[in-house]
Amino acid sequence: MQFDGDLAEIRFGAGLSPAIAPPESAAEMLSRLQGPDEMAQQFPVSRFEDAVTGAATFRRLRRQRRQLDGKPGYEAADKAYREFRRAQNHARYGWHGQRLLRHVRTRDGLRERLVLFWADHFTAQGKSGPTRVLAAPYAESVIRPHVSGRFEDMLIAAATSPLMLMYLDQNLSAGPGSRAAARRKRLSGLNENLAREVLELHTLGVDGPYSQADVRQLAELFTGLTVSREDAFVFHPGMAEPGPETVLGNTYGGGKPQLEQVLSALRDLARHPATAQHIARKLAVHFISDTPDPALVSHVAARFQDSGGDLVQVYAALLEHPAAWEPQLRNVKPPFDYVASACRALALPEARVADLRPGQLNRLLLAPLTPMGQRWEFSGGPDGWPEEDAAWVTPQALAARLRWAMAAPRRLVQPLPDPRGFAAAALGGFANERVMFAARAAETEAEGVGLILASPAFQRR
């Protein structure tokens, strides 16, 4: 099988760029993935541990504002609260710009795609004002360092992340027989959200070999996983349900509640054959097709299980299978991927993004994702964004893509490229005759570039 660099960059990377050559082999893609994370260094995003300190400041300013309502000093407290909230939103816009620039400038597109994939697989988001800006730092600290490691390590990092614990209300869960439940009547009791999502979404899959009893037992085992007043992860033995718990036939605990009991269960779930099958199919659907070749899924699942969840070996299995290289572009790019690959094709200058004021960055690069169907960092639930092409191919979403393609490029890049050269740069060998005709017939550069970006050929991968 001859390696196709254009297809590799479109299907497994960030899209073609006139400034950056596509990879020359799958081995090069895997090698870069295991090398230094150049884009994280060049375009930094706040670590979760640093960003979360803002949540405490947000709560303090909001509390002061409420306490002074109708009293002297309220105007100053209100101003401080509003200014801090505005600064947090501006920081979120800035992080969005940095993450987009990573896609524009990277030579390691597979890494950027995998960060998006795993951040969606382990969806976590802030549900209240203090934590609503933490999705990007969560991906930076919990997901990104583990994309070329072992699946069980990423699972543990996600399941014990303060953002995940707060998102799924695990921080409020206490064992019915725990010391904390006996002392504090205001506790909400046992919460099964995290246990259910770990089994159904993160590991075994919705059709996995578990029962409601397994969910209940795992939820009891998870009691003790909580968050400190500083929004840091802690294990609180006093909230843990005493006694052993049995999950999928394996028994954990029984003595003094310890974090290691929880981690042992997570490792066992990560190594389960059903987890291998679930992750393999998700990867195949995400990168290849809504209906992937069963032989491809089986091949990737076998490598997952044989390697103990070594993710680089799992990706290698995906890239070495012939079904991964079928030339027809099937999957529709989700909105962020679409906008990011368009900016990459336009070779959007770093300086141009730096020059954008926060409101401009939001209007040009972040807010347009919502009418396309993807309210960025706020998916509809813990199952993340849909993979099915039909979710993105709606009249409203396609109209929003067309509006963006026809209006945004000329506001981002001046001068715009000649459409004929742009078609070749953006699509390589996938610039079909219909695309080239539109490029030749366009009356202006803006019209030609917009038609190319709105074409079905560019919107698929």
Place of tokens 């730092």: 137
Angle, helices 335-345 vs 419-427, to 10°: value is 120
pLDDT (tens digit, 9 = 90+) per residue, 330-351? Answer: 999 999 999 999 999 999 999 9
DSSP state of 291: S
Backbone angles phi, psi at 438, to 5 degrees: -60, -40
The answer to whether 247 and 198 have CB atoms below 8 angstroms apart is no
* Closest to 417 (Cα-Cα) out of 103, 98, 17, 10: 17
The answer to whether 149 and 307 have CB atoms below 8 angstroms apart is no
* Closest to 174 (Cα-Cα) out of 257, 266, 260, 263: 257
Amino acid 117 reads: F
Handedness of CA 28, 149, 272, 288 (dihedral sign): negative
pLDDT values of the chain reduced to their tens digit, one per residue, 461 residues = 789 999 999 999 999 999 999 999 999 999 999 999 999 999 999 999 999 999 999 999 999 999 999 999 999 999 999 999 999 999 999 999 999 999 999 999 999 999 999 999 999 999 999 999 999 999 999 999 999 999 999 999 999 999 999 999 999 999 999 998 888 655 668 999 999 999 999 999 999 999 999 999 999 999 999 999 999 999 999 999 999 999 999 999 988 999 999 999 999 999 999 999 999 999 999 999 999 999 999 999 999 999 999 999 999 999 999 999 999 999 999 999 999 999 999 999 999 999 999 999 999 999 999 999 999 999 999 999 999 999 999 999 999 999 999 999 999 999 999 999 999 999 999 999 999 999 999 999 999 999 999 999 999 99
Give the span between the Cα atoms of 241 and 221, in whole angstroms. 7
Using alpha carbons only, how large is the chain's radius of gyration in Å? Answer: 24
pLDDT (tens digit, 9 = 90+) per residue, 176-199? Answer: 999 988 886 556 689 999 999 999
Give pTM, 2 decimals: 0.97
The answer to whether 453 and 405 have CB atoms below 8 angstroms apart is yes
The answer to whether 378 and 127 have CB atoms below 8 angstroms apart is no
Q: What are the DSSP calls for 360-403, one per residue?
A: HHIIIIIGGGTTTT--TT--SSTT-S---GGGT--HHHHHHHHH
**Could you tell me the two tokens for 267?**
């490792």
